[in-house]
Amino acid sequence: MMDQAKRERLASKGWKVGTVSDFLELTAEEAIFVEIKLALSQNLKERRQKLMTQTELASKISSSQPRIAKAENGDASVSIELLIRAVLATGATPQEIGQVIAGVG
């Protein structure tokens, strides 16, 4: 079970987990979906930090530094689309992305 601290951390990023009952309304699939996004987000941050600045990565994918920051911080407004585009731009292979997702759950 997810603890209070984690719920608050997610809620602060815009995820709809404010109250306990709200949280319980998340279906198992929705929960997995969020976890996949968070896993990609973490992976992006790790890979990017070794290679370049947020500004450099942003220009590679015609995005902006603020959006990369949100992507790396698990902001709910960032789509999986952008997360995957960004991870690919760090040189990740489909195999690596697959492993990150498989590591969820």
Partner DNA sequence: GGCTGATATATCAGATATGATATATCTACG
Partner DNA sequence: CGTAGATATATCATATCTGATATATCAGCC
Q: Which of 32, 38, 69, 88 binds DNA (CB under 7 A)?
A: 69
CB of 94 to its own copies, least distance (A): 4
20-79 residues near its own copies, rule: CB under 8 A: 29, 32-33, 35-36, 61, 79
Q: Per the structure block, which two tokens stand in for 82?
A: 């952008």
How many CA atoms are closer than 13 Å to the CA of 60, on its beta-carbon side? 17
72 binds DNA (CB under 7 A): yes
- Name which of its own copies, DNA, none residue 42 binds, using a CB cut-off of 5 to 8 Å depending on partner kind: none
Cα–Cα distance, 105 to 98 (Å, whole number): 13
Task: Tell me which residue of 8, 10, 13 sits closest to 70, measured CA to CA.
Answer: 13
Cα–Cα distance, 79 to 94 (Å, whole number): 18
Q: Where do contacts with DNA occur on this chain (CB under 7 A)?
A: 49, 53-55, 58, 61-67, 69-70, 72-73, 76-79, 81-82
